[in-house]
Amino acid sequence: MAKYLLSIDQGTTSSRAILFTTQGERYASAQEEFPQYFPQDGWVEHNPNELWQSVLSTCQKVLDENQLSASDILGIGITNQRETTLVWDKNTGAVIYNAIVWQDRRTAFFCDSIDCQDIKNSIMDKTGLILDAYFSATKINWLLDNVPGAREKADAGQLLFGTVDTFLLWQLTAGKSHKTDATNASRTMLFNIHQQCWDDELLALFSIPKSMLPDVMDCAAEFGVTQSSLFNGEIPILAMAGDQQAALFGQACFTEGMAKCTYGTGAFLMLNTGNKALKSTNRLLTTIAYRLNGDVTYAIEGSIFMAGATIQWLRDQLKIIDKASDSEKIAENTVVEHGVFLVPAFTGLGAPYWDPNARAVISGLSRDSGRNEIISAALQSVAFQSKDLQNAMAKDGLALSFLKVDGGMAENNWLLNFISDMLSITVERPDIVETTALGVAYLTGLQAGVFSSVDQLSTLWRCEKSFTPQISEQKKNRLYAQWQNAVSKVQS
Ligand code: ADP
């Protein structure tokens, strides 16, 4: 009987359960969206029970629809939206509050209050991160200070913290495992990425008791087994990785210098830097790419907040397209140098600017500019922002030699051509674009002994289509200079 690897891909807006064969081929999947809650301006929450039920029901659905039982599954791997923060009672399992989502800005004020360069430098040195509300640490601090009784219970050792991976593991194992992996730990702003341990000074800075924190494991490890009532039998949980790290793994970026960019709601460019944790002086993040058998591989990461979300804005707010994919045809039929620039700073600017107060503009409009130019400018902004990241990496001494891409926007050929033009490198799209789920399936397979090594996994990666630069150097430079000019207008 064939056996399968089951990937749980718990994203910001939906949960997916995807089955892969032991040859690393996608076999079947189920997906479910869940509600988003915005209780105040800048606050974003998920209901933990809805989140867990969406995972449970997609897993049960994909097994049922394919007439599979627990014994057909070699192992489960969990990949997840990163940084999102949950706290629950160790004894009853009851969460003390909704999940505070990575996008949530309620602790920005607290971050601003830490106005000491030495502390910021120390955070960067230890965690590779820029002090920002994005990461888990200040979210945990907020929960302990704002949920009645939480601080006392935490001090008494009765509360546990987890990012989504840890919360799902706790649910899957009926409270038997309280663990995370090194990639998720590296996004909490509490984990020393050099020493591979929770950092006492940072825990003190954010007033978080160490007893709340999960054990940190390799990405491929024995995380526990599912309680048998869930899937009519036990299934081992063998892998974990944050979504962007899992995508890097699924893109087989296993050697230093290999890079991927996932173009979804936002865009996340990650470059493998091997066993060196390089420190960026250009406001990029240093992060753990993966940890296998105790060996850490590091990456440099640049996050763009608005990529596909800008196209959603064209569809839902401006209502100038019916569906995201319409943007491709329109851009194809519009001249490239139309003079219109859309800087999508709807929620501020991410790397390398980190400017939360910037707001979006459309600039360069003339009497003959219209819908098509705005749509083209929206797509172009994704490529220009990628070039901003490439430039920041170059200033840190890191060259991108080619780029593997995935995510919903990677279906847009016009966009991939334009990214190749702006970055002056080859852009490659794989045949399996669900690289996040694939990456954690690879990790699960490594732990299950289905795959022997990352070298073997490299041979499984297939390019579906590649894009090479076509634009002239002068035209590229002209366009990019105009983009930089437009960005300078929105910076606060
Ligand atoms: P996420 O995982 O972040 O939810 P996905 O990887 O599923 O996102 O990608 C969805 C995003 O990609 C949406 O924001 C959508 O607007 C955008 N998108 C999807 N298809 C296209 C396309 N053909 N051209 C441009 N944007 C697209």
String of DSSP letters for 414-460: HHHHHHHHHHTSEEEEES---HHHHHHHHHHHHHHTSS--HHHHHHH
User: What DSSP string describes 203-262?
Assistant: HHHTT--GGGSPEEE-SEEEEEE--HHHHTS--EEEEEEEHHHHHHHHTT--STT-EEEE
Best of 268, 321, 409 to mutate for ligand 1, by most ligand atoms within 8 A of CB?
A: 409
Q: Is 308 in the pocket of ligand 1 (CB under 6 A)?
A: yes
* Residues 347, 490: Cα–Cα separation, whole Å: 12
Q: Mean of the pLDDT values across residues 320-327?
A: 95
Of how many residues is the chain composed? 492
End-to-end Cα separation, the chain, in angstroms: 61
- pLDDT of 49 > 80? The answer is yes
Residue 489 above 70 pLDDT? yes
Would you state the structure tokens that stand for residue 276, as one six-digit string? Answer: 């060196």
Residue the block writes with tokens 């991927």: 260
What's the rounded Cα separation, in Å, for the pair 407 and 288? Answer: 21
Atom of ligand 1 nearest to the CA of 315: 16
Q: Residue 211: count other Cβ atoms within 10 Å of its Cβ.
A: 14
Q: Whose CA is nearest to atom 16 of ligand 1?
A: 308
> Is residue 46 predicted with pLDDT exceeding 90?
yes
Dihedral through CA 444, CA 445, CA 446, CA 450, nearest 10?
Answer: 160
Q: How far apart are CA 260 and CA 253, in angstroms?
A: 7
Q: How does residue 378 score in pLDDT terms, banded at 50, 70 and 90?
A: very high
Q: Is the pLDDT at 1 greater than 80, yes or no? A: no
Please write the tens of the pLDDT for every residue from 431-483. Answer: 988 899 999 999 999 999 999 999 999 999 999 999 999 999 999 999 999 99
Please check the confidence at residue 40 and state whether its pLDDT lies above 70: yes
C-alpha span between 395 and 196 (Å, rounded): 27
Average pLDDT over residues 216-241: 97
Distance 304 CA to ligand 1 centre (A): 14
> What pLDDT band is residue 346 in, cutting at 50, 70 and 90?
confident
Q: What is the pLDDT of residue 492?
A: 80
- Contact in structure between 237 and 78 (CB atoms under 8 Å): yes
Residue 11: pLDDT over 70: yes
pLDDT for residue 217 is more than 70: yes
Residue 389 confidence (pLDDT): 96
> How far apart are alpha carbons 347 and 344 in whole angstroms?
8
Residue of 265, 268, 322, 416 best suited for mutating to test ligand 1, as the one with most atoms within 8 Å of CB: 265
Choose the weakest-confidence range: 23-37, 180-194, 377-391. Answer: 23-37
Tell me the CA–centroid distance for residue 244 and ligand 1, in Å.
15
Q: Would you state the pLDDT for residue 112?
A: 87
Q: Average the pLDDT over 36-65 and give the result.
A: 94
**Distance between CA atoms of residues 88 and 71, nearest Å:** 31
β-strand partners of 86: 162
Q: Dihedral of CA 172/178/183/188: which sign?
A: positive
Place of tokens 């024995």: 222
Pairing assessment for the beta strands 4-10 and 73-80 based on DSSP bridges: parallel
**Position 475, amino acid:** K
**Model pTM?**
0.92
3-class SS of residue 15: strand
The Cβ of residue 126 has, within 10 Å, a number of other Cβ atoms equal to 18
Question: CB of 428 within 8 A of CB of 402?
Answer: yes
Please check the confidence at residue 227 and state whether its pLDDT lies above 70.
Answer: yes
pLDDT value at residue 115: 81
Question: 13: Cβ below 6 Å to ligand 1?
Answer: yes
CA–CA separation, 197 and 300 (whole Å): 20
Q: What is the mean pLDDT of the chain?
A: 95
- Which single residue is written with the structure tokens 């079947």? 28
User: CA 471, 426, 324: angle at the middle one, nearest 5?
Assistant: 80
Q: Above 90 in pLDDT, residue 350?
A: no
Q: Are 100 and 139 in contact (CB under 8 A)?
A: yes
**Cα–Cα distance measured from residue 378 to residue 373, given in angstroms and rounded to the nearest whole number:** 9
Ligand 1 pocket, mutate which of 29, 311, 317, 405 (most atoms under 8 A from CB)? 311
pLDDT digits (tens, 9 = 90+) for 85-100: 999 999 999 999 999 9
Q: Does the beta carbon of 344 lie inside 6 Å of ligand 1?
A: no
Looking at the CA of residue 309, tell me the nearest atom of ligand 1: 14
Q: How far is CA 207 from CA 114, 149, 197, 202, in A?
A: 14, 15, 17, 8
